[in-house]
Amino acid sequence: MAPKPVRWAYAARADLLEALEHIVEESPQAAWDFLQKVEDAAASLGTFPERGTRVREVIGADLRQILVGRYRLVYRVEAEAVGVARLIHSARDFRRAWLRRPR
């Protein structure tokens, strides 16, 4: 079976950029490494989309997640693709972060 394409929602890309802005202040190399880890993890979902655990904080949304460092990469498995919905730091209140509009 061919891998499914992985599509990023605007909110997920905005979350990634926000995370990178914080990380790059401490270390540009760490920001680059984090970007690579997130992109690799997201790309791998096309091949193994069911491997993530279910997100329990959002009832009925059929969301899954994998951890990338301290971040929760939240996604949906769709018929034709995998949709990355958000990238949320694990220390944050998930429901509040989920409902927050990206800048």
DSSP 43-99: HHTTT-GGGSEEPSSSTTS--EEEEETTEEEEEEE-SS-EEEEEEEETTS-HHHHHH
d(C-alpha 7, C-alpha 5), whole Å: 6
**Is the predicted pLDDT of residue 16 greater than 90, yes or no?**
yes
d(C-alpha 25, C-alpha 34), whole Å: 13
Domain 6-99 has CATH 3.30.460.80: no
pLDDT in tens, 81-93: 999 999 999 999 9
pLDDT in tens, 25-43: 999 999 999 999 999 999 9
pTM of the model: 0.92
d(C-alpha 63, C-alpha 74), whole Å: 7
pLDDT at residue 61 in the model: 80
* Cross-strand partners of 88: 72
pLDDT in tens, 40-86: 999 999 999 999 999 988 877 889 999 999 999 999 999 999 999 99
pLDDT at residue 40 in the model: 97
DSSP letter at 7?
E
Give Cα 82 to chain centroid, integer Å: 11
